[in-house]
Structure 1
């Protein structure tokens, strides 16, 4: 069984916001993209920069790395432009009893 960690109450993650959670040495950005909850590794594959600090585009469900401008698809973890060319890890998000959780397997 894979570890599932609590993020926050759903009410504390409204559309257009992000929360960062840590599991072991892994940081995960959990985004509310216009009501769709998505999670990716909070690490740009280009230079390890913090993706969750970047600009969220709710219409496209992407986040832009604040360091060099690579845009990542929150649904797939794939970069949409250079300089990043490798995807970041993505994670399943679920809501149980009003609490947002992430499957970190």
Structure 2
């Protein structure tokens, strides 16, 4: 388990095109990395309703959300809070930033 404040490189900036997302597994954690409008977001990759992998869903760029492929819940990329659908509980959101050409996530458990 990562220690609090651990910086973990996820990929390079060029590995992800704008408007796309990918699943990243790190030390047993299933993470969703999204690049939208030039910004990177890292959230849990499992829907809080169906446990489906959100990386198999879609991005709703108008609402700045990721949409579950099974239950169609939409989660806000910045807060992880449900915006629509049956979801009642938010996703964990991880501090994400770019250092040089690397996308870094900070685990803060």
**C-alpha displacement of 1:23:** 2.4
The gaps in structure 1 that reach 5 residues or longer are none
Q: TM-score, normalised by structure 1?
A: 0.91
Partner of residue 80, structure 1 = 83
Paired residue total: 105
TM-superposed CA distance for 1:19, in Å, is 2.4
Aligned partner (choices 57, 60, 63) of residue 60 of structure 2:
57
* Match status 1:30 vs 2:18: no
Partner of residue 5, structure 1: 8
Q: TM-score, normalised by structure 2?
A: 0.88
Name the SS for the 1:102 alignment partner.
strand
